[in-house]
Amino acid sequence: MQDKAHALELAKSPPPHLLYEGDLCVLSGDWTLSALKPRLIMLRAKLLFHGHSAKAWNLSRVTRMDTFGALLLWRAWGLQEPESLILASQLHPAFERVRSVAGIQVEPARFDWLQPVEQLGRGVLATVAHCRAFATMLGMVSIEAARLFVEPRSIPMKEFSAALYKTGVQAMPISALVGFLIGIVLSYLSALQLRNFGADALIINILGIGIIRELGPVLVSILVAGRSGSAITAQLGVMRVTEEIDALAAMGVSIHQRLIWPKVLAMSIAMPLLVLWTSAAALAGGMLAAQLQLEIDWRFFALSLPHVVPVQNLYIGFAKGAVFGVAIALISCHFGLRIKPNTESLSRNTTAAVVTAITAVILLDAVFAMLTRGIGVPLR
């Protein structure tokens, strides 16, 4: 119905027309966007050709004109009025709006030699602000944890169990699938090289130490950072946008006790279990590939694994999982609390939380590698 009414309106309104008589241009009809659109290319070409040569313009026959039509003529005149202009009184508002916009002088961009220093300073100040806010949050979480040990009844068990289920149980299928496939790939690539040296049995050492000590914790941490870490940041960000966090503060409820501490505790418990689960799936995939590629029986693989991989590697994997889980939870909560009540801040901080968490996991893994370089490594 609206399209039909618009078509009827266009049919009733006189079409725009331009007549050139020597140095005089006479315009008539409706010079609006809807009327100009079907004839825009032709009229723009005529205005471009006659705009600078015509000395006088007669717009007394123009019935209607909007800002688009006025801007079209203004550009044809070279951004200034012609020498002689006959203009109806009802057309003055459109040209006044065009003059006000065209009169704004845009200064050319200039290179500021201090701009790199300014950007560096802003980056340093932003980093200091992040570190200060993170330290404040860490202190508040520690205080709440100490208080909960004194008052066990105030432990938010529902929030803790929900966080444990979301970060642990729901992550088991994807972590097992990825671990199984990584184990197959690692075993297949290792078997291609070991077969050339006749050291087929060493694949048990490679898979055992590599997966239990290094690959399992790091792989699970990256998956959890991308899955659960982003979910935590987005949840806190949505609560910030909907002003739920402000409502909790107004009611006197500690957000560090109800929102942050349960997630940190749940992540510290779920991550070591996920590391064990993913490492077992990766070893199962490696065992299957070794049997198919090197014809190593899975029973021999399972019986030889405890002898070639010291049990200290399992403890190191558990410790890495717990530390990585706490780091991911704290970083995700930190960026979630810094989200401002707008969607752009939500997306930016969620992305920053995932990137920062993965970077922190890699840095912490390097620290673990330096501190435990002489632990759990069999000497021959």
Model confidence at 264: pLDDT above 60:
yes
Cα–Cα distances in angstroms (integers) from residue 200 to residues 24, 195, 284, 292, 375, in the given order: 96, 6, 17, 12, 25
Q: Is residue 376 one of the residues assigned to a domain? A: no
Q: For the chain, give the percent of residues with pLDDT over 90.
A: 18
Q: In the structure, what pLDDT confidence band is assigned to residue 13 with cuts at 50, 70 and 90? A: low
Predicted local distance difference test score (pLDDT) of residue 52: 65
* Count of structural domains, the chain: 2
What span, in angstroms and rounded, lies between the C-alpha atoms of 216 and 323? 14
Asked whether the beta carbons of 159 and 258 are under 8 A apart, the reply is: yes
User: Domain residues for 177?
Assistant: 129-371
- pLDDT attached to residue 68: 80
Task: State the CATH number of the domain containing residue 49.
Answer: 3.30.750
> How many angstroms separate the CA atoms of 257 and 334, rounded?
14
Q: Does residue 42 lie within any of the structural domains?
A: yes
Give the model's pLDDT for residue 358: 93
Confidence of residue 220 (pLDDT cuts 50, 70, 90): very high
Is residue 178 pLDDT above 60, yes or no?
Answer: yes
Task: Residue 12: count other Cβ atoms within 10 Å of its Cβ.
Answer: 8
Q: Do 276 and 220 meet the contact criterion of CB atoms below 8 Å apart?
A: no
Q: Mind listing the pLDDT tens digit for each residue in 134-169?
A: 888 888 888 888 887 777 777 788 888 888 998 888
| Whether 185 and 250 share a structural domain | yes
Residues 12 and 160 in one domain: no
Same domain, 40 and 141: no
Give domain status of residue 285, yes or no.
yes
Within-domain flag for 119: no
Q: What pLDDT sits at residue 12?
A: 57
Condensed to tens digits (0 to 9), the pLDDT of residues 320-375 reads 999 999 999 999 999 988 888 887 888 889 999 999 999 999 999 999 888 888 77
- pTM of structure: 0.69
